Each structure stands twice: as C-alpha cells, then as structure tokens.
A and B are shown apart, each in its own frame.
Chain A
C-alpha cells in the first residue's frame, strides 16, 4: 500500500515538474532586446494628415532584435497588422503597447502585446485615430486620440484608461494636439503639445499630472528648432528628445535637465554628421538611437555615446527599411504614483492669480500707464466674462472645468494691456495658482495673501452667460 502511495507521489511530482518546465520553456523572453518600428521605403508622407507628427506610416511594422545575436535574431512582431508603430514597454518589461491599423483603411487603435506569450489584445476601440500610447505607473495607459472640438479641425487630446479600456477619460482640453508622451520619474506626463487654434504654433514640451491638472510648459525650443519626438528620462535626470534644426533640416539629440529644463539645453550630437530620428537611453551615457549617417542612408539602429559624442556601433540597419523609433525591453523603476485632486462629480475648478500685472522679470518695472485693472476670460468662440482685478492685481475665479480659455488684461478704457495668454484649462475640482500673466517660469509667489482670496471666488461664466450657453446647447 505504502509502495503504491510513494510511486503515485513520485509520478505526480515528476509530472508537475515537467509541466512547470514546459510552461517556462514556452515563455518568450525579450529581456535585453531592442524593439523598433520599421517603415519600408522612403519616409514620405505620414498617414496622419491632420497632425504634424511624422511617425505614422502605412505598412510600418514592429520588430525585435537581440543586439548581441544580430540580424539573425530579427523577429517581426506585428505580422498580422497592416501597420503598427510607436511601441512602448511596460515598467516590468513584460508588455508592449503600440498603435496599429489592423487592416488597410482602419483607424489607428491601441493594442498590447504580452511579450511572454505573444498574445495581442486591443485595449481601445475608437472611431477615431488613437496614437502614441504609453504606460502609467498607476496601472493605466495614456494615449493621444483625435477629438473634434469647437475649434476648427480638432486635434489629438490626451486620454487615459484602464487596460480593459474602461475608465476612459480625456485629460487635456485646450486646442492643442499632444503626442509622444512619456512619464517622468516624478510621476508627471510629458508630451509634445502643438496649438492648432486660432493659429498653428510650434510644439512645446508640456507637463501635467496624469489627470491633466497643473499643466505647464516644461521646455520650449528656440526659433530655429522644432520638436520631433521625446525619448526618455535618464537615471541622472536628463530628458532626451529630438529637435529638428529648421535651417539645416538635421535632426539632433538634445537633452535638458529635469531640475531646470528651460535653462539647461545641450545639443548632444552637434558635431556628428547625419540625422537622428529617435533616442532612448541604455544608461546615463549610452543611448540607442534611430540614426542615419547621411541623407543617402536609411535610418538604422545605432548606439551613441554621449561622453565621447560619437556613434559607438551600428546595431541594425536594413537598406529596405527606415527605423523610426527604438525601445529597450527591460524592467524600469516605477515612477511615482501621484495622487489626484480631480473630482469628476464636480464641474467647476478654482484659479487664483497673485498679480496679473506681474508679467516678466524684464518688464517688472511697468509703470502705472501699463497697469491693468480688469481681466477678460476668452473661450474658443466667445468671451466668458470680464472681472475687476483687486488693488494688488490679484483675481480669484471659479470656472467651468474642462473648458479651454485664454486671459487678457485690460486697462480702465478696455484696451488690451497684455494678452491673450496661452490656452489654459482646469480639471474638475482642480485648484490652480499663478504668480502673474506670462510670468517668468522660475518665479515663485511672494509670501503675500492675495486680496482676492479674502472674498469668495467670482463665478465664471456669470449666470447670464450660463443660461445662454445652455440655450445654445439645447439648440
């Protein structure tokens, strides 16, 4: 009896061991590999016509290569898709998210590939194009989705949702298109943001909390440069991205320091001949890039060393394909999970400005002639309201949330003193503070209690405007 038991136990143990062994063997590991998007032929016209984002091409595909094993390790991961691009890897290195057209003519949608079993899952089902997805540390994803707006054309707003597509929320509301978003270690979202209304403007690096609140400019290119793509944040806190020199048409790797991004720009690849399309960091000094040595070449994968300022080695090139982005499959430190003050059950938000007459360090000494005493809030298609500034230049308003507006200061004659500002929006229940109008980005508030907050906030739009707005909505 006992002999039978022992044999039975032995049988089950061996079976279990074999099952575990087989299941572990069947898992695919991409650890240490490079995943990239390749586009056959020349990089002609982006398939996204309504966005100045040149990373979306028909028949693009996502592939993986082991940098040690070389070309024979090349695997095409998105064979079943008509087009696929913009891969990003989850923080644990186990998943890949990307944007793809399943069939010709489809809208771009967000998909996920489980790198352990190569199973695909569509995360977002939308009637509009959804592009540039990325992972959030909270277990959600962020991506850009085309939205129609009151403004002409519409553009790509940022959205977040759970992995199953639930809890889908738009988080940006100004007439800007957003793309190439990444998450910084402090937990905030960084994306290229381009105003498209009332006129097109150059892209800037815009930062916000993952709920879209506290949005602000992180970095602005100088006149001769255009932002192309954001790479990543290195362990040393350098933010890497690609800028196009509009006079030479060359694409360069640029870094700014997280601590002081507006004043720490370094053009890393200045003396290198050739052009970079994308950059990702292996470590603080070695970057994996999409690079072409000359205009006759196609973009391939190259390793760039920032200390030596040199292309260290060619990892993968293909004369038929351009490589337009590269990501490393590795575990990464989870960014901070930021708490949110947003309450979607509310439809208003608060904003305080300490002194609307404070404009910039250089113009701080403005005389009384240039002092404003009113401020006007302008929506997409009409004025939201004009209110008096307090004697100290402060104002405190309760605004409708998720509605874009600009502000301009007026003198007692109603003439514009300063403005209109860039587009602002407030999230539901958000409380935003600003030091002044067109303030210097490094300026912190003086330790003064604004006169405006000694009263209740002025509600905008006024009741009259709200009634009109409702009537229009009914129409």
Chain B
C-alpha cells in the first residue's frame, strides 16, 4: 500500500516535471514571444514579473534609494558644497576637503536647485513637486522656513540687492518674486513655456529666464522658443526674445564682463522627415550666445561634430576670468570646455549671414571647444569655486560629484555622496534612458524627446512610408505601465516591442538594445517614472465647483435636451478611470489627408493638462480646441450641445486629472459631497 502511494506520488511529480518542462516551456515561450515580438528573448520570468513589479515588498527588495544629485552651490570659501539630492528629497552638505557628506537635510519633494543668499546666512532650495522653497540656516543647517511659490519651482536667482529671490516656476511658466524679509511671494512674472534656467548679469539689472518648450504652433510653422528678459530693478518683464529653431534651453550664464550671456540649447529637426540620422537629420545640440550690446544678436553654435554628437547640454558656467566656459553634455557624460576668446573671435570675424549658417554647421565646435572631459553618468548642474579653480559636477546617475581642475583640465578625485553601490536593473534602465549611446553617433537619448520622462511638446514627421505623411505628436512616458498598447496606432503591445528591433531600424538606427538592456529600460519605464503632483489644478484632491460640473459632463449619458447619448459618444466610455483609457483603438474623426487610414489608440488622460498640444498630430493647441475646432461632427465625444461654460467645466475637470494611483479609489471630495447634497 505504502509502495503504491509512493509510486503515485512519484508519478505525479514526474507528470508535473514533464508538464513544466515541455508544454509549460512551450507556453512560456509563446507568451514571451507575444510580449517581446521576437522569438529569442531569454525565458526569464524575472525580466517582466520581478523587475517591473510595483508590489511594495518586491519593489523594496529589487530597488535602491539613490540620491541623484541634480544641482549644487558652493560657499565663498570653497569649503562646503550644497548638493540637491533629487531622489532623496534632501540637501546634502559636503565638505570639499575631506570629500565627506556632513549633513543630510530633508527638504520638499523633488528638489531642483539650491542657491546661497548674499551674506551666506541662508540657502534656498526649490522643491519642484511641493511648490515651495525650503529656507535653510547655514550655521544650524536646519530648515527654518518654507515659502510658497508658483507651480514647479526650479531655477533660482538672488536679486542684485540681495533682498529678493527669483524662483522660476516650470509648470506655471512664470517667475515668483519672493521678498526675503517677509519671506512671501510678492509677484509673478510671465515667461516662455516650461522655464528652468535663470541668471542675473554680474552688473545687475538684466535677468534672463530660459524656456525648455517651444511655443505651440501648427505643424510646419517655424519652431520658436522664448528667452525672457526681466529688469531686476523694476521686477518687470522687459521683453520676450524669440530664439528660432531651438528648445530645451536649460540654463544660462553671463560672462564676468556682462558682454555675453550663453545658454545651452537643442536644435531639433521635427519638421524634417526622420529618414536618417547621418548628417544631423534628427537632433543637434549647442549653445546660444546672447550679445548684450544694443541690437545684439543671438548666435547659435553647435557643440556637435560631424560624426559625434553631444546631446542634452544642461548647465553652463563661465570662469571668473571669462576665459573658459564649461557645458555639461548630460546625454554622453562629457564636459565640453569652451574657449571664450575663440567664441569672441568667431563673433567678431564672421559676417552675420555666415553666423546664421553656423547654427547648422557641424564641426564649427572645433574652433572653440578645446577639450572634452569624460564624467560620471548623466552630468547635470555645474558650479565653479569662487576662485574658479575647481569645477564641481552633479553626476546625477552616479551619486557622485565630479571635480575638474580648470587650469589643467584634468579630473580630480570625485566626491562620493554615499549612495547605494549596487546598480539595480531599473537604475541601469534610467542610465540608458538618459544616455545617447544607443543611438547612431550618440545623436539623441530617449530623454531628448522625452525630457523629464515626459514629452517635448513637438510633432515629428516620422516618415513611416512616405515622407511628409503621418506626423506624430510625442507622447508622455510617465506612468504608462497600464496603458498598453503603445504608439498612436496601438501597434506595440508592450514596451519590449516598442523598444525592439523596429525601434532601432527607424529611430535609433544603430544596433538594437541587448536583451539585458531592453529588460533594464523596460523596468525603468514601467516602474521608475512618476507623475508630478497636479498641484496647479488639483492640489488636494478636492474638485472645484467647475471641475465637479465638468466631471458630471464627462460621465453624463443624457445631453442637454434630455436625449440619451449613445454609449460611444460618452467621454467615460473610451476614457474610464484610472488611466482614462479603455485601451482600445478608435476613430474620432481626426484622420487627415496626410495620414494613412488607421485607427488611433485611445490616449490616457492622467495629468493631461501638461501634455499640449493634443491629438495624434498635435493639431489642437489646447484641450478646448479638440472640440471647438476639431469636434464638429461629435465623433470625438458628444459635445456640440454643450454651452461654452459647460465646455469650460469639462476642460477644467480634465485638467484636474492626476496620476492613476489617485484615480483608483477616489475619495469623495468636499466639493463633491457639498454639491451632491445641494
């Protein structure tokens, strides 16, 4: 009897082994093939089911808490560095001699920049996802105050008098002027779109604010971004200066003599068919030089070379003697060293027409870049010591501060900030995302078209079959895990397919990701990218009256005349929470003559307020235009019975939508209850 049981047990185990080994393996193979759209991806369950897991216990096990230094400032005596650790929501105080972190000060969420006040009593940290500034006393190294700002504070500057702090509000596209005595915001000044960089001229008076997104315009119109000039004395907007063909103007710096201001920039080729990478047909990267004389021009020069590109230039600093400038090329982990004399020679000796052409000339950098110095992963903010002898580099994905001797132009020993030494799969993916090494000749990284893991607001001619057809609005990559399929035509069922062989054939045009790298970048995209809180339109989760009315319109099934709206005409049918997409393809009457006849993937609507322009080809500059200009036939939801006020309410509600985690089990807001009881 016992023997029979043993035999039965043995038989069951054997059967299980056979099932797992043969049909199981076959099933797994079929599953992996379907997910990855290739037949040779290794059969590793961990690729998908472990590294992209959002279970908090699993996530804690497979991930690490990195610091991610982003920007920095230094005390006048050069002894202490203040480093913004973006992922740790902290400011690190670093002793430059011992190269040790002295203190870790908790600040707000997703801090962006730090600046030391005039008398070095306080420093100020902009908390981009908290909409405030942390005020830190530099003797006690404690946060002593928090100042409210506009939406998404980033770059900081102190007025010439030392009495005011300027905080650039990236999400609000304005600058908060903060009285440092009362510690209150006293006014806001409009800027270009999505600003971050700010610099005050050494002689005071002129304050420049750079913008990162171009002005929204119909496809085919010239690309223009704005540089905002503010008068420091009057705290008034002096003028908006158009910078043609450029965007992602991240930061700006003045020469000590104030004769020039130089900003970093990217020159995209979104209006040119994306048929090749060779010859700078996708992206170029450089600097914009703003002459400070009357009728001064803005001259753009490329940092790139004919076969090597230096993408995502982020920060720029100029030595106190005005001889050298340093630019962090965050997409290739290099610092480009610029001879300012050479720049001035080029400006002085070149006719204006030719200078204009230089903006499109690769290799002009040979005339002014004197050295390229390799850094750790993803160099971002730069800071020179007061004497200009040392350059400190925030190596964002290395958790280190790089140090360069500006005389010898050699690297010195880096400062290890003490982040985790283990590089997790998602961290590796984040490095890949930010590095251009996987595009032909390093011409662009994922980050270039998806800055801050979002989208760049541009419409590209991806030239699918014929050139000039099927122009495509760049989509955000924030929290897309549950929103498959991907691409406007919904042809990619997974991130694996999205970033697979076709991605390398038509976009990166170099060797495709290795499967290890593909696993890593998928893990990062699916787990590592968060929505910033929608503090602008929905700071607490409580809807305003208008938003609430808009919500009712969004969910309505009866029109204004009491007739039932067909199911496919209701907003909520195709855009249900939590992602506000039913993950299906649809025809909403937006196909144009230049589109191949396809259906479009229903886009998710979380944080939709920050994703203008709208529709697959970016034709709608605002949410309103989706219906006022392009919804005449009620094919994109039944809206034509709505009054203008109702449409405003609907748009107000759409702008209130936040990340999916808020939308899963939405608590009844005060306003909601209040209005319902009425």
Q: Which residues of A contact B (CB under 8 A)?
A: 186-187, 214, 216, 258-264, 336-341, 350, 352, 354, 361, 364-365, 396, 431-435, 440-450, 453-457
Contact = CB atoms under 8 A, between A and B. Distances in A.
A259 B306 contact: yes
A454 B219 CA distance: 12
Contact of B510 (A187, A214, A350, A365): A187
B675 to A, nearest CB: 48
A113 B270 CA distance: 49
A432 B276 contact: yes
Contact of B276 (A258, A339, A431, A442): A431
B672 interface: no
Contacts of B306: 259-262, 441-442
Interface in B176-228: 219-220, 222-223
A433 to B, nearest CB: 5
Contact of B354 (A259, A338, A340, A361): A361
Contact of B272 (A260, A354, A455): A354
A442 B363 contact: yes
Contacts of B360: 443-446
A256 B269 CA distance: 28
A186 B307 contact: yes
A366 B417 CA distance: 57
B512 interface: yes
Contacts of B594: 454
A369 B461 CA distance: 33
B467 interface: yes
Nearest to B358: A361
B173 interface: no
A33 to B, nearest CB: 30
A261 B361 contact: no
Interface in B268-291: 268-273, 275-276, 278-281, 284
A313 B491 CA distance: 61
B511 A337 contact: yes
B308 A447 contact: no
A339 B510 contact: yes
A449 B223 CA distance: 11
Interface in B464-492: 466-468
Contacts of B245: 446-447
A433 B281 contact: yes
Contact of A445 (B272, B466, B512): B272
Given A262-B363, A447-B222, A450-B273, 10 more contacts: A214-B278, A261-B307, A263-B363, A341-B505, A352-B467, A432-B275, A442-B306, A445-B280, A446-B360, A450-B468
B509 interface: yes
The B interface is mostly helix, strand or loop, or mixed, namely loop
A364 B269 contact: no
Contacts of B361: 361, 440, 442-444
Contacts of A186: 307, 440-441, 510
A340 B512 CA distance: 11
The A interface is mostly helix, strand or loop, or mixed, namely loop
A449 B461 contact: yes
Contact of B275 (A216, A260, A350, A442): A350
25 contacts: A259-B306, A260-B305, A260-B363, A263-B363, A339-B511, A339-B512, A341-B506, A350-B467, A361-B357, A396-B468, A432-B275, A433-B272, A441-B306, A442-B306, A443-B361, A444-B269, A444-B279, A444-B302, A444-B361, A445-B269, A446-B245, A447-B222, A448-B271, A453-B461, A454-B594
B504 interface: yes
Interface in B336-384: 353-354, 357, 360-364, 366
Nearest to A213: B276
Contacts of A365: 353
Given A259-B306, A261-B307, A352-B467, A433 B279 contact: yes
A441 B278 CA distance: 11
B510 A338 contact: yes
A434 B467 CA distance: 13
Contacts of A336: 510-511
Contact of A442 (B270, B362, B505): B362
What band does the interface of chain B fall in when counting residues whose beta carbon is under 8 Å from A?
Answer: 35 or more
Contacts of B219: 449
A354 B467 CA distance: 12
A444 B281 contact: yes
Contacts of B223: 447
Nearest to A457: B466
A99 B28 CA distance: 47
B277 to A, nearest CB: 9
Contacts of B636: none
Contacts of A341: 505-506
Contacts of B529: none
Contacts of B308: 258-260
A467 B366 CA distance: 51
A432 B278 CA distance: 10
A339 B513 CA distance: 11
Contacts of B362: 260, 442-444
Given A440-B361, A457-B466, A447 B441 contact: no
B75 interface: no
Contacts of A354: 272
Interface-centre pick from B267, B272, B505 (highest chain A CB count, 10 A): B272
Contacts of B268: 447
Nearest to A456: B466
A453 B284 contact: no
B535 interface: no
A268 B325 CA distance: 31
Contacts of B284: 444
B279 A454 contact: no
Contact of B467 (A187, A396, A435, A447): A396
Interface string B227-259: 000000000000000000100000000000000
Q: Which 6 A-B pairs have the closest CB atoms?
A: A444-B280, A453-B468, A259-B308, A431-B275, A259-B305, A339-B505
B466 to A, nearest CB: 7
A348 to B, nearest CB: 11
A339 B509 contact: yes
B363 A433 contact: no
Contacts of A450: 272-273, 468
Contacts of A337: 511
Contacts of A455: 468
B501 interface: yes
B671 interface: no
B588 interface: no
A150 B308 CA distance: 38
Nearest to A449: B271
B272 A340 contact: no
Nearest to B442: A186
B531 to A, nearest CB: 30
Contact of A447 (B272, B276, B466): B272
Nearest to B304: A444
Contacts of A262: 306, 363
A350 to B, nearest CB: 6
Interface string B298-322: 0000100111100000000000000
A399 to B, nearest CB: 13
A453 B305 contact: no
B101 interface: no
A447 B279 contact: no
A440 B280 CA distance: 13
B463 interface: yes
A338 B509 contact: yes
Given A260-B307, A453-B467, A187 B511 contact: yes
A435 B273 contact: no
